[in-house]
Amino acid sequence: MAARKVLRMPKVLECTGWSRSTLYAKIKDNKFPCGQKLDPGGHTRVWFEDDIEAYQRGEWKPAEAVA
């Protein structure tokens, strides 16, 4: 299995051209990948580059809500 490249927030903002508040608004509305926390109790969040690329191609779909 190949390792997935991760992006930190500054790179995600650069790739999308959005402000931090726009990114958080899209995540809140489930219109953009929410990324992954590096540490469950921490604040550092990363996004997988392939998820961002899929979003930009219009291929990213939000996960189904689990009841």
Around 2, how many Cα atoms within 13 Å sit in the side-chain half-sphere? 6
Torsion angle (degrees, nearest 10) of CA 61, 57, 20, 43: 50
Closest CA to 37 of 11, 4, 9: 9
Domain boundaries defined on the chain: 6-57
Q: pLDDT tens digits for 46-55?
A: 999 999 999 9
Closest CA to 55 of 28, 39, 37, 35: 35
**pTM, two decimal places:** 0.84
Q: pLDDT tens digits for 9-50?
A: 999 999 999 999 999 999 999 999 999 998 888 889 999 999
